[in-house]
Structure 1
Amino acid sequence: MVAISPVGQKSKDSFARARRVFPDGTSRVTIERNPGPIYIERGVGSYLFDADDNRFLDLNGNFTTLIHGHAFAPVVEALMRQLERGTCFAHPTESEIELAELLCHRIPQVERVRFVNTGTEAVLFAIKAARAFTGRSKIAKLEGAYHGAYDWAEVSVAATPDNWGESAAPRSTAVYRGMPASVLDEVVVLRFNDAESARQLLSFHGHSLAAVIVDPMPSRGGLAAPKPEFIAAVQDTARKNGVLVIADEVLNLRQSFRGASALYGLVPDLITMGKIIGGGLPIGAIGGREEVMRVFDASAGRPLLPQGGTFSANPLSITAGLAAMKHLDHAAFANLDELGCVVRDGIGRAISKRRAPLCVTGAASLFRIHPMAEAPNDNREAYSSPSASKLMKQLADFFVENGIMFQHGAAASMSTPMTRADAEFVVEVFAGFLDSHDVCWKT
């Protein structure tokens, strides 16, 4: 392993310029600094090259979006053809029908589709659709689960031991200063994998709930596997009370050919999608039962839920997404699953060999490393103390210094251009981190 300077001079120079035009020198709160951000010049396959021409194996993939890696040839070729035809229109294109047909054919419970621009918009309109369908306003959601930047979906995404309240009845907490108290009053918070409390809370509030939104494996909540009894409790109680079930698969659609809900026995009324279905361009989609999706129907006049968007279903995102999804066949998913297993199993063996108080969670092509000996079951168990968070930051820095882009506090993901050698390199670097921090495990 050859150490790389985390932030080169060109990145430092770019950050100095950026600080003169952006509030904190960046355009996203998720940008990591070491002490400033690494500026990327290009991406090729599973690798990134920064402004100083350092090469990194990319385990972030723009937060799991780039399932085919960077500059995927079929996407590039499709985009070049579309660019010559035009970038956006105020009218529909046939390509949007083709991508919708692919999703309806592939993803169970998706009978109709509406395209939007981001995962946030997909969640926003799924919640609104549930309200329009049921005539109710409240929603239920999982503590610690991230569903984008919509007030109601953001409740309790950053709950801490200081404010998260009782286990059986988690408190609704604000994610930013000034979040309306009325929003907090309209969100019921559930603990992931706590079947009994979910059943009780959904039963008690059922008469006023439009929907319960469930990420089958919340990344921000620890990327813990869902317990079958929890999925059953949420689904059965929601059905009994006329509450719609929304599966947020913006991130986890990449878990299988048919998505994550199909893997874990969740049968939602609505599914939100994004990330991989855009081929690297901005996109979001709401899919679901035809009866529920009818709230968007404007054929007879004003619909129950108007939904537009200047760039919704724009031909560039649709074209890129169609090319990407066509190449995500069963063989591609089988290869991604194998790579994910190589990494998770290898990391697990490295931890066991050194008796380090860490663990790894995840499934399919996703994984997360935790500063605790036992795998967490939910957001509260995955919560890291300041000292544990510092250790995880050291891990992320070590990965970067050794040529792997590994985001602190986010799910890591494999991509189709990666090889078994890439996966084994990830394990090798992780083992190197454990060896270099051996004093931590002995004290």
Structure 2
Amino acid sequence: MEKGGEGPNMAVARVGQRSKESFTRAQMVFPDGTSRATIERDPQPLYVERGFGSYLLDIDGRRFLDLNCNFTTLIHGHAFAPVVEALTHQLQRGSCFANPTTSEVELAELLCGRIPQVDCVRFVNTGTEAVLFAIKAARAFTGRSKIAKLEGAYHGAYDWAEVSLAATPDNWGDPSAPKCTAFYRGMPASVLDEVVVLRFNDVEGVRRLLSLHAHELAGVILDPMPSRGGLIAPNPEFIDAIQETARKNDILVIADEVLNLRQSFRGASARYGLVPDLVTMGKIIGGGLPIGAIGGRDDVMKVFDASAGRPMLPQGGTFSANPLSMTAGLAAMRHLDHSALEHIEALGNVIRDGIGRAISSRSAPLCVTGAASLFRIHPMSRVPNDNRDAHPTPAGATVMKQLTRFFAENGIILPHGAAAAISTPMTRDDAHLIVDVFASFLDSHQDIIESRQVRT
């Protein structure tokens, strides 16, 4: 029998017995019992049996409204019928070939026709690969090696993109000149020397630091609304400062829209007035299968051109543009029309507004950020302006852990410390359920929230 997800009074255990048993088995074959560092556990992870629409069913038979959507990937939810049909048809014809297929041409045509500044694309297998090759493309085009990036912003598992991803108050340095910090033990010092770290929404800092390092910078990479950095809206002046300074100094602007392409029909850059030279894409463009893409200006993308011999930047990959990812992505993107995007943005407005009203009516020291089909709750009363503002205190982190637990106990998967995502199968009833569970959390945990001295 499917349980959970019926309302804030239908609490269930966070992790069922079969999930606990599966985790015990997993600890025998994985270093920490999981195959991804991003798997959430409290203290064990929840093992999934299947997904349907906006819901998950765990292996203990309990239903959960899914606000993770595999880290925002599943914009149409689970087992989306057009994708299932397209994949079934393709699987009967083959899963991968050394030769190209027309499905890759069709998906490329869709992206080039929809996303501004994308004259042509190259497909890879992950968002990490897309960022990796976009940075390499900027280097090949400019002949420079350094990159600039935002403090606390996630751009995948490429050394240069990971610099200052995990910066904390103990090591992030002067506000006017952020320190380059290593993401893992043993990261080469030379990598840190090749990166300029910027603060999100710091207009003057961006102008000064980009100008100071202009002769060495190949590109500046930014997510228009960094999820790990707080899912905070960019100030128009900040976008202008990035573009004007980059253009003046022949620095390429790389928009990382692997996560935020879902913010509008034409993507996040178009929503916020950013005009990039290169765009990285992933997640939603694969329909639930592995994918990444680099797109951009025709002259910049020429670095991949191998028609006359060895290109300036060779790029391959055994599974790049595989027909399963291409077919699934094409089916998903064709159904992600204006109507679908308007639907999930309307639900996002209901959720953000409802959470905001619940906070205001109770004078709770929390806030909510986000846009379109994304939202994130913060353990602070003032909306943060950048990654440093959004960095939770230990007390705030405890409150957020309690919030995630409460949501799970009430049949909702709420990501911990990341963006919550809305999918097209969700309804207004689902949106109101999210708001009701959040309000119930505030009412039942008021003493914890107040005693933790959450930042104001």
**Residues 29-428 of structure 1: matches in 2 within 5 Å?**
29-428=37-436
Alignment partner for residue 2 of structure 1, among 4, 10, 17? 10
CA distance in 2 between counterparts of 1:95 and 1:33 reads: 38
Which 5+ residue runs of structure 1 have no aligned equivalent?
Answer: none
CA distance in 2 between counterparts of 1:33 and 1:217 reads: 26
Could you tell me which amino acid in structure 1 is paired with residue 86 of structure 2? A
State whether structure 2 residue 447 is matched by structure 1 residue 433.
no
- Asked if the contact 1:336–1:364 (Cα under 8 Å) also holds between the matched residues in 2, the reply is yes
- Asked if the contact 1:355–1:441 (Cα under 8 Å) also holds between the matched residues in 2, the reply is no
Q: 1:442 to 1:212 in 2, by over 3 A?
A: closer
Shift, 1:183, TM fit:
0.2
Which moves more between the two structures, 432-441 or 141-150? 432-441
Instruction: Give the % identical residues.
Output: 76
Could you tell me which amino acid in structure 1 is paired with residue 245 of structure 2? T
Indicate the SS of the match to 2:361. helix
Which 5+ residue runs of structure 2 have no aligned equivalent?
Answer: 1-8, 452-456
TM-score by length of 1: 0.99
Could you tell me which amino acid in structure 2 is paired with residue 315 of structure 1? P
CA distance in 1 between counterparts of 2:362 and 2:371 reads: 23
For residues 269-313 of structure 1, the C-alpha deviation after alignment (integer angstroms, 9 at most, x for no partner) is 000000000000000000000000000000000000000000000
Indicate the SS of the match to 2:64. strand
For residues 331-379 of structure 1, the C-alpha deviation after alignment (integer angstroms, 9 at most, x for no partner) is 0010011000000000000000100000000000000000000010110
Poorly superposed stretches of 4+, deviation over 3 Å: 440-443
Could you tell me which amino acid in structure 2 is paired with residue 235 of structure 1? Q
TM-score by length of 2: 0.97
Indicate the SS of the match to 1:317. helix
Shift, 1:35, TM fit:
1.2
- Cα RMSD over matched residues? 0.6
Indicate the SS of the match to 2:396. helix
Aligned residues: 443
- Asked if the contact 1:109–1:269 (Cα under 8 Å) also holds between the matched residues in 2, the reply is yes
Could you tell me which amino acid in structure 2 is paired with residue 170 of structure 1? P
- Asked if the contact 2:399–2:448 (Cα under 8 Å) also holds between the matched residues in 1, the reply is no
Shift, 1:441, TM fit:
5.0
CA distance in 2 between counterparts of 1:236 and 1:146 reads: 24
CA distance in 2 between counterparts of 1:140 and 1:442 reads: 39
Shift, 1:442, TM fit:
4.9
Indicate the SS of the match to 2:121. strand
